[in-house]
Structure 1
Amino acid sequence: MSGSRWAYPDGPAVTDGLTIGATREHIAAAPAADLPAADPYPSRSRGRINALWTIVDQVVSSGTNAAINFIIARRVDPTEFGAFAIAYTIFAIVVGLSRAAATAPLGISYAAAAPAAFRTAARAASGLALVLGAVVGAGLMAVGGVLKGVVGTNLIAMGVVMPALLVQDAWRYTSFAQGRPLRAVVNDLVWAAGMGVGIVLLAIGGPDAAGGAPVMVLVWGAAAALAVLVGIGQHRVWPAPRRALAWFTGHRETTGFMTAEFVTVQGAQQTSTLIIAAVGSPALVGALRGLQTLLAPTTNLAVALMSFAIPEFARRRGAPARRIIRAAYVVSALVVASSVLWTLIFLILPDDFGTALLGDTWSQTHELLLLAMIAQAGPALAVGPAAVLYAFGRTRLTFWINLFFTPFLLAGPVTGLLLGGAKGVIIGNIIVFWATIPPWIYQLHKQAHAVDRG
């Protein structure tokens, strides 16, 4: 990506209900700069309120997803929970893919669009999420039917609810992109309430009605479907699956590179985890899993701030470079500070409390916490600069930065394992994570000043 050239959709501009010079059979694939702007410079107080609601929504959403894991873990035996974990892992990967392929352009190219233009875009984005959910869902049901048994039934159940899960998530990110995160909070609360009612009804019906993990997955998905209907009312649009392909190809500069970025980074991290699990001892794997569990809230906060920051920076593309750079550093500082404070809490907690949380795994996990805090600070520092680059449409650039470091994401922790065991894994991550910081900071300054000059 050169200098100040925008990484906006590079296909022909097509629209539905807009006057950009095409027909009503397609969706808008034009740069947000060509659309009528709606409040390009929101007030600082409004920005702070939106940031707060975005964090609240992340808490509610993460809580709902965690609840289904905890409830099923308490209701079923380890074998069935393992089968559910396989299905849930697939969902976690697919929902990330849906965000990259379907809803990312909303926050990048339409954050400052007029309401009518934004609703047109939201129809297409949610339509792509629906199509992806239907395709993946059908595949899971087919595989589940072949496998049968406890794994097969869990895959079938997840396949049934996958479309609702992805569209509900699409409504959340539509709310963020529009600068109305309170809508996302309400939608997630509807999902949580629906799931709670379903669980209570199952409990009233007795053990026979409660069923196993597949029944709970169906309740979870039914509650998501209720939230989908609420989202349709909130945004006053229906998903448009017929426009899914036009949306993806019309914004291929965003969707293509962000999807490829997601696949490569996730592929490297998941492969690294599998190698560590195969080579390392069960105790080591348990300690690393303990770290992930303890530090998950800081990851969720980083996701929330990124969801808030991308559309906010997109609405401020014309702001002076110094303001953009300062705001990016503030976002990163918030993530770093929260990560450090959260980790310090567990470092000073009595061992009895830690043992109550993680059992015998606590001892080794506690030994790794300080190193883990240093490792997490690396990606945290990159959150602000990355949000600016995404918001400015520099997805080609972010893809190449991540692609360059992908082999090291795989090799760093595995090499550390071979040389230094569990501590070596964390040190390997520290080296790789911190090595990525200079490119992000350099590109932040370069792209922000390029906009100033342009």
Structure 2
Amino acid sequence: MSSLTNFALTIVVLRTMPLPEFGVFSLVYALYQLTLSAGRALVGQPLAIRFSASPAETRDPETKDALGAALVVGFAAAIPIAIAAQVTSGPLSRGLIAVAISLPLLLVQDAWRFGLFAAGHPQRAFVIDLIWGVGQVLSVVIILLGPGPSLFLYLLGWGLSGAISVAIPAIATRTALKPIRGIAWLRSNQDLGIRYVAESALLNGAEQAVRVLIGIVAGLEILGALNGTRTIFGLITVLILGAEVFGITEGTRILERNPGRHQRFTSGLAVVLTIAPLMVAAVLALVPQSLGVSAVGDSWTEIRRLVWPVGILVAAQGFTSAYRIGLRSLADARSSLKAQTFSAPIVLGLGVVGAYIGTAQAAAIGLAAGNIVSAALFRQYFVTARKRSRQ
């Protein structure tokens, strides 16, 4: 649910702030997402993998230590962001300050969600997300009725709402965050965490690099058309990201209790995450020209040409995500890192080749082709890892 409310906040900022400040918001939010990916790699995912099938007397102390670990990672990321805020100015500086203030507890919030899913309490994770979502809505209403639209206030309200969503259950359950124990937890789980961080860096690095190179090779207009089309598929991207928490915890439990079902579970997840983007693409392809223009403006004509290539691209990413989740539940960090190491240059190379042709459609087809190869690689590594785990 938190991904949905964050997406809604993005729409609010887009509609109420000038484009330059929305650009700053996009940059700062991307920085948060990169840090969140690192936090999940170091804390949330190892917690879910190692302890989803453990008894409560083992899992609960580990979860508390993991929350301390998330706090440590959050502070480690917030310090350089705060320093960067001091050497910049204007909206960017204020945006960085707002994120630096909020980041430690936002990472704790995400780790707590993983812990609750690992414990088999998704409804409690939903309550935490609900508190954050309600806080975001209230903060936006207060800002719009009071001082008026402000990038700093939007980001501060977003971050403080997340902090409150952690503070309320922490007080209710008398859960104390212990950074010293968190550091020890990070060390004891570094065999998974370090490889997952490296994989996350490769994935995010390739995505950012291909955007920059497409902008350089094909021009900002083509890059804008691609980004605009990706935004339309934003809710599907949210679904794919949300599947991670559920998929890792449930896959780990299935592997422990009924190993024969594990491959079927992973394959079923792949089907869902692949079909959903294709269904959205099919619906968008049928939208009348007049309705599309009234919804997104004159850019709809170009976006409509990209619906199917981008839909296939997102479908391939969903397929890849399912088998990455499968490798996570097998605790096979080595295979997952290898798959990403081979995939990153392929996606980057084919995306740039498509951009070199000089059309947005060619760039989208190149990216889709690269992600299809990546999907095939992840599936092959998963199948091999499954065979190895059964020997």
TM interval, short-chain normalised: over 0.9
1:27-71 C-alpha deviation (Å, 9 max, x unpaired): xxxxxxxxxxxxxxxxxxxxxxxxxxxxxxxxx212221233233
Q: Distance in 1 between matches of 2:205 and 2:120?
A: 32
The one of 40, 47, 56 aligned to 1:99? 40
1:278-319 C-alpha deviation (Å, 9 max, x unpaired): 232332122101221111222221222232111112112245
Q: Distance in 1 between matches of 2:279 and 2:172?
A: 37
Query: What does residue 88 of structure 1 align with?
Result: 29
Query: What does residue 195 of structure 2 align with?
Result: 257
The one of 217, 230, 237 aligned to 1:292? 230
Query: What does residue 160 of structure 2 align with?
Result: 222
Q: Distance in 1 between matches of 2:173 and 2:337?
A: 31
Q: Distance in 2 between matches of 1:292 and 1:226?
A: 31
Flag the 1:442–1:202 CA change in 2: closer, same or farther, 3 A: closer
Amino acid at match of 2:347: L
Q: CA deviation at 1:80?
A: 2.5
Give the TM-score normalised by the residue count of structure 2.
Answer: 0.93
* Larger gyration radius, structure 1 or structure 2: 1
The one of 121, 127, 134 aligned to 1:186? 127
The one of 369, 375, 380 aligned to 1:437? 375
The answer to whether the aligner puts 1:197 opposite 2:138 as a matched pair is yes
Q: Distance in 2 between matches of 1:141 and 1:152?
A: 9
1:309-353 C-alpha deviation (Å, 9 max, x unpaired): 111121122456542222211111111121111111111111122
Q: CA deviation at 1:358?
A: 2.1
Give the TM-score normalised by the residue count of structure 1.
Answer: 0.81
Q: CA deviation at 1:230?
A: 2.6
Q: CA deviation at 1:236?
A: 5.3
Amino acid at match of 1:440: F
Query: What does residue 76 of structure 2 align with?
Result: 135
Tell me the SS of whatever aligns to 1:349: coil
Amino acid at match of 1:178: A
Q: Distance in 2 between matches of 1:71 and 1:112?
A: 40
Tell me the SS of whatever aligns to 1:157: helix
Q: Distance in 2 between matches of 1:393 and 1:449?
A: 14
The one of 83, 89, 100 aligned to 1:159? 100
Amino acid at match of 1:441: R
Q: CA deviation at 1:203?
A: 4.1
The one of 220, 223, 242 aligned to 2:180? 242
The one of 242, 249, 254 aligned to 1:304? 242
CA contact (8 A) 2:170 2:176 kept: yes
CA contact (8 A) 1:124 1:244 kept: yes
- Taking only aligned residues, the RMSD between alpha carbons, in angstroms, comes to 2.0
Query: What does residue 148 of structure 1 align with?
Result: 89
Aligned 1:324-403 pairs, distance under 5 A: 324-403=262-341
CA contact (8 A) 1:103 1:126 kept: no
Flag the 1:449–1:89 CA change in 2: closer, same or farther, 3 A: closer
Identity of aligned residues (%): 25
Query: What does residue 123 of structure 1 align with?
Result: 64
Flag the 1:356–1:329 CA change in 2: closer, same or farther, 3 A: same
The one of 343, 346, 349 aligned to 1:408? 346
Greater relative contact order: 1 or 2 (C-alpha under 8 angstroms, separation 6 or more)? Answer: 1
Q: Distance in 2 between matches of 1:449 and 1:78?
A: 51
Structure with greater helix share of residues: 2
Q: Distance in 1 between matches of 2:126 and 2:50?
A: 23
Larger displacement relative to structure 2 (253-262 or 79-88) = 79-88
Flag the 1:346–1:403 CA change in 2: closer, same or farther, 3 A: same
Tell me the SS of whatever aligns to 1:113: coil
Q: Distance in 2 between matches of 1:318 and 1:165?
A: 31
Tell me the SS of whatever aligns to 1:120: helix
Q: Distance in 2 between matches of 1:116 and 1:183?
A: 19
Query: What does residue 425 of structure 1 align with?
Result: 363
Q: CA deviation at 1:136?
A: 2.3
Q: Which runs of 5+ in 2 are unaligned?
A: none
Q: Distance in 2 between matches of 1:343 and 1:221?
A: 33
